[in-house]
């Protein structure tokens, strides 16, 4: 029985979570109980080592910087300018407001890295306009939820900063590798919206011409003023990594400085806004690091007590093929996303999955991107569905939970389609890092 003790840690953790314990304390508590049973007093020294490892991991310094960048961008005025500029070009298309909203989410996600910030800011701007032009409420809900969650798979992403060290994969390789799959997913969203609104014009009607429509020169001027500053900041963050000029942490610092500069350019900067952004950064960072510490303790006890070896032996005994095992891992991640937030899923399963993925000969960066797509899907899947809860907090009463649940279903299917495409063609992930970073 003792040799299977490590596997009992997972049901014990689920039980603690369902009792209502905070994720971090549930992980720490389960790790302490099972660690003490297995190792006795020596587990305390292991925990001290995990605290030191977490505190001294320089990559995690990017977390507060990216969170601060997102917090400042919420208040910088960039969203309002982007909204105006992008919709100037898309409003005449079928479903143009929804298509423009997805494009806006792409740019904002690439500027921010914080998912909640993207969905909240974009939703507050886009929902009233789409409601005004009688867009289908399910389409409104699905577009905001799916577009707002693109920050998981479009760099820079706080999720990746946490994932990289745990999976023992370069954060820079992940940032570059996830770029093409992220843009592929956004294009699948746009293609679906366009097709749906062509087939059913009432779902997303075109906006009719108006006498006060801006001229081409005015459109270009508005677009340049709205898009150039964020594009420069995106290049400062991602371009510095892609060109080998900065590590992810240094690029995050450039992004944080850029968000301050943008708030000044758009004349939104004030001491009170800076104070709000710093407080939000402190709260979010403390939450992430505390959960990360609990996850490291949990994973440390699980691995040290032979949990990974035992899991490998069970999979080997089941005679599963590598691809079947991969499908099993992704299915487990998908189901776990129904009930757990992203950081819990990541911390619980990545330490178990990665050694087996490497043993089976799969490329770790490719698997991590597949895992990220599954994590993003969990944002839309009830009952937890963080994206739906974000939307519920900012949507008018006319948009009900029924509209939200119905609206996200097509986008969940699109995410699964994207997952299948990336799984079938690993070069979508691996080609760009090989060209830019010399990744093998």
- Looking at the structure of the chain, the number of domains it has is 1
- Domain limits for position 303: 2-436
- Judged against a pLDDT cut of 70, whether residue 316 lies above it is answered with yes
Q: What count of residues does the chain have? A: 440
User: Among 416, 76, 100, which Cα is nearest to 273's?
Assistant: 76
Q: Residue 86: its pLDDT value, please?
A: 87
The stretch 30-35 carries a mean pLDDT of 91
pLDDT(415) > 90? yes
Greater model confidence, 214 or 359 = 359
More confident residue, 196 or 46: 196
pLDDT of 114: 66
Q: What is the pTM of this model?
A: 0.85
How far apart, in whole angstroms, are the C-alpha atoms of residue 324 and residue 328?
6
Evaluate if residue 439 carries a pLDDT over 60.
Answer: no
To the nearest whole percent, how much of the chain has pLDDT over 90? 27
Residues 111-145 pLDDT 10s: 766 666 677 788 888 899 899 888 999 999 999 99
- Rounded to whole angstroms, the Cα distance separating 387 from 123 reads 11
- Local confidence band at 211 (pLDDT 50, 70, 90 cut-offs): confident
Mean pLDDT over 7-20 rounds to: 85
* 3-state SS record for 214-274: CCHHHHHHHHHHHHHHHHHHHHHHHHHHHCCCCCHHHHHHHHHHHHHHHHHHCCCCCHHHH
């Amino acid at each position: 029985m003792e040799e299977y003790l490590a596997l009992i840690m997972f049901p014990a953790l689920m039980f603690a979570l369902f009792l209502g314990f905070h994720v971090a304390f549930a992980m720490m508590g389960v790790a302490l109980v099972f660690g003490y049973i297995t190792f006795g007093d020596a587990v305390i020294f292991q925990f001290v080592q995990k605290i030191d490892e977490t505190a001294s991991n320089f990559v995690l310094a990017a977390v507060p910087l990216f969170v601060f960048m997102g917090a400042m961008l919420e208040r910088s005025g960039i969203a309002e300018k982007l909204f105006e500029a992008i919709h100037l070009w898309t409003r005449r298309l079928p479903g143009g407001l929804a298509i423009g909203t997805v494009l806006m989410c792409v740019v904002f996600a690439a500027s921010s890295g914080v998912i909640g910030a993207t969905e909240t800011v974009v939703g507050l701007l886009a929902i009233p306009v789409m409601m005004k032009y009688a867009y289908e409420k399910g389409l409104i809900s699905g577009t905001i939820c799916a577009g707002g969650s693109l920050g998981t798979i479009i760099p820079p992403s706080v999720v990746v900063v946490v994932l990289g060290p745990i999976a023992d994969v370069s954060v820079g390789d992940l940032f570059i590798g996830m770029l093409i799959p992220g843009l592929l997913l956004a294009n699948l969203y746009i293609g679906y919206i366009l097709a749906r609104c062509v087939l059913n014009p009432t779902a997303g009607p075109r906006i009719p011409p108006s006498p006060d429509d801006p001229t081409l020169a005015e459109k270009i001027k508005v677009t340049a003023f709205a898009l150039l500053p964020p594009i420069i900041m995106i290049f400062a963050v991602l371009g510095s990594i892609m060109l080998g000029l900065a590590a992810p942490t240094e690029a995050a610092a450039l992004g944080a400085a850029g968000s301050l500069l943008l708030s000044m350019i758009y004349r939104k900067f004030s001491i009170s806004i800076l104070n709000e952004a710093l407080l939000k950064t402190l709260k979010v960072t403390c939450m992430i690091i505390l959960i990360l510490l609990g996850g490291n303790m949990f994973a440390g006890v699980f691995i040290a007590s032979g949990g990974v070896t035992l899991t490998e032996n069970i999979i080997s005994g089941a005679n599963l093929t590598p691809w079947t095992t991969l499908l099993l891992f992704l299915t487990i991640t998908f189901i776990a996303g129904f009930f757990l937030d992203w950081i819990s899923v990541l911390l619980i399963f990545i330490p178990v999955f990665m050694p087996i993925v490497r043993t089976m000969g799969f490329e770790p960066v490719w698997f991590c991107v597949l895992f990220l797509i599954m994590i993003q899907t969990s944002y839309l899947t009830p009952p937890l569905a963080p994206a739906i809860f974000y939307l519920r907090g900012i949507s008018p009463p006319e948009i009900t939970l029924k509209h939200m649940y119905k609206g996200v279903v097509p986008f969940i299917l699109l995410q699964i389609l994207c997952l299948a495409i990336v799984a079938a063609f690993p070069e979508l992930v691996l080609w760009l890092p090989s060209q830019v970073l010399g990744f093998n």
